[in-house]
Structure 1
Amino acid sequence: MIDRWTHAWVQAPLNLLAKSLVGKVTPDQLTLAGFLIGLLSVPLLAMEWYIPALIAIMSNRVLDGLDGTLARYTQPTDAGGFLDICLDFIFYAAVILGFALANPAQNALAAAFLLFCFMGTGSSFLAFAIMAEKHQIERIQFDSKSLYYLGGIAEGTETLLFYVAICLWPQQFSTLAFIFGALCLITTLTRVYGGYRTLSRLPGQSESPS
């Protein structure tokens, strides 16, 4: 919901960092490094080392922003965009797994509910991206995204803020996970509705009368 504003705020520092890395590292290398650092949060969370886990999570997010910025200074590729989005979804789910491992009795149900909700936001995002590419629908929010970006209440910034909150107040994980999961469900419903309406209005997409 607020990605369009936070995206603009972080561009200046990311641009400076990216310029200094041109010719020294590739965007795909940054993507893989960020993913591996992010995965460190799983064992850290399982051991209930929440602040080190938060550092790993934040490092992942910084590198996730940096790889795309660097790609625009070199040569963006479909392969790089594909790798980035796949590893992002795996990372987001891995953090929730870490909290389930930290305290299965208290966190497992909330973690399962949130992963269910993540399936809705992720599938609606990717399904619409496929159709938008097929019909050459222009991106309406972020020119730098590798895929058409269909927004909602629970986007990248909100997810990061949620991860910060559950690392700072891990005893509240279940409550926060159910709340954020509900926001994800609302996002899924709005994406499915908005995506269906958008696609059904394209030429030749109206249903024939019975």
Structure 2
Amino acid sequence: MAAWTLITRSVLFFLCLAMLLAALALIAVGFWMRYDDSFDTDLKNVVYQFNDPKVLADAKFNIRVWLIVVFWSIIGLSLGAAVTAIFGMISSIFVKRRGFMIAYLVLMIVLIVLEIGSGIAMIVKRSSLRDATNALVNSMYTTNSVKDIQIIQNTYSCCGAQNGVFNRMYCGPMSNLPYCDVTVFNSVDNTMMISGIILLVIVILQVVAAVVPVPILISKRYTIKYSYEPTEVSRF
């Protein structure tokens, strides 16, 4: 039993260590993507340009809201994962402190529920993201925002929008390039799909990390139970 407990504690420790490192890396990458001017400078110049006509300004605002919500959701879940991982590592070392293990399990269950909820919310809101990207591209063309149009067309190798009356003006009658509203949404959607797959893998690992300490708690419970049982005294 002692050897099995040691193996279980070691597995829990390294699972939590991996989760902690992944969470810290995700936080670092998130802040780098959000605040480093060297990352996607052209696209940031489009979305974070504020001196636009109202239609285009509203479309950019909706995209910024999406980016802010996704960014802080990732940061929040990553911070939660880091705190949970620390509790898990502590509980794997101080196994006699059942409070640490129980707190770790509670935090892990809450974290898994939040991550699953976030994934479901992203799937449900997928159509509204499509509407937001379509509105952004269409408003660029309808307001003749030349700088934004050039950036989008050069970045995504696209031109025009579906059913756009302005396609002939900007793209020419013989253009074989895909529509910009389609390519922009597909790019964002692919990123979300990759993030969803990564999140699914993380959730599966977290479920395993939540199951691992259960035998430790059970064995600890029986150890405590039997240690307090009275010893029968012989009358002879």
**Shared fold (TM-score, shorter chain, > 0.5):** no
Structure 2 length as normaliser, TM-score? Answer: 0.28
Larger Rg: 2
Structure 1 length as normaliser, TM-score? Answer: 0.31
